[in-house]
Amino acid sequence: MSKNKFVKKKVCMYFTKASSTSDTNPGVFVGGEPIQVVTEFKYHGIILDPTLPFKKQVKRVMQTAKYNLANFRYMRNCLTSTAAFLYMNAMIISNLTYCLTSWTHAKNTTLKPILSLYKQALKVPDRKPNTHHHCHLLRKYKILTWENLTNYTDACLLFKILNGMAPPPPSAFVKQKTSDNRSTRSAQRGDCVVPFRSSSFSQSCFAVRATQFWNTLPAEISYCANYHTFTKNLKTWILKKQTSSLLISSWCILILYCILCCVFYCCIVYCIMYYYAVLSCKYCILL
């Protein structure tokens, strides 16, 4: 009887690139008892399916985040600025970033609603409309963009893996470069081995994405012994790069705007000159 209870609590799922049905998959048996083959399963709050598109996971996250965002907008005028940011981080950002390293390798079209909702949430504490651009708020409150937030989360988990603070399963996918045969600068710097993946889907997984970002970190950050010091220095470094890139993009937009204004005014002047030239020609012909 206890064996039957044990088998009933277990399920099986086949992960594949092709869309397959449970009829074509072989059965799995434990002690002669068959295990149910499922096409969807919720594991530690993450909804898994055979092809790992994470569309249902994103949909569930969006439903919860939209509900909290609607309540946030309704009560924003009754909150102070400190309380507003506390609510945003506790009820919206924490929901969007839960197990971020597991499902953010989905397609960009799948993650696009998450990015849009993240930008909307940043505008509520400052009482800005949805048409307001979020770059000003990122510089004002020193908030990470969604891409940098993903890199920050990946680097934090990778630091825990390399320093023995993470569970054993993720450690099998991350390896540091060693100087066994010859001494290289990457091995001395503590870089990680970036595994080769041929498909674009595999190249966006944590083992590839996180190690590539880790190898770009300065040595004074990757060699931090304390996790709190590492997260502090990492966020400061990412914000410095983000601020410089935002300033460059702002200047590019300003220059483009000035060029468009100059072209517009030149076109107006040309049209006026052409109009007066036509009038003068008609006047000369009448004379």
Say how many C-beta atoms besides its own lie within 10 A of residue 28's C-beta: 15
pLDDT the model gives residue 1: 42
Query: Could you give the angle at the alpha carbon of 197 between the alpha carbons of 192 and 198, nearest 5°?
Result: 155
Distances (CA, A) of 287 to 246, 271, 278, 282, 284: 61, 24, 14, 9, 5
Model's pTM, two decimal places?
A: 0.81
Q: How many other C-beta atoms are found inside a 10 Å radius of the C-beta of residue 181? A: 7
The yes-or-no verdict on residue 186 having pLDDT over 80 is: no
Question: Of 141-150, 170-179, 242-251, 266-275, where does mean pLDDT reach its minimum?
Answer: 242-251
Q: Where are the chain's structural domains?
A: 2-39, 48-143
Burial of 82 (0-12, 13-18, 19+ CB in 10 A): exposed
Looking at the chain, the whole-number percentage of residues with pLDDT higher than 70 is 84
pLDDT at 37 exceeding the cut of 70: yes
Backbone phi, psi, residue 79, to 5°: -110, 150
What residues contact 231, with CB distance under 8 A and at least 6 apart? 156
Question: What residues contact residue 161 under an 8 Å CB cut-off, 6+ apart?
Answer: 170, 171, 174
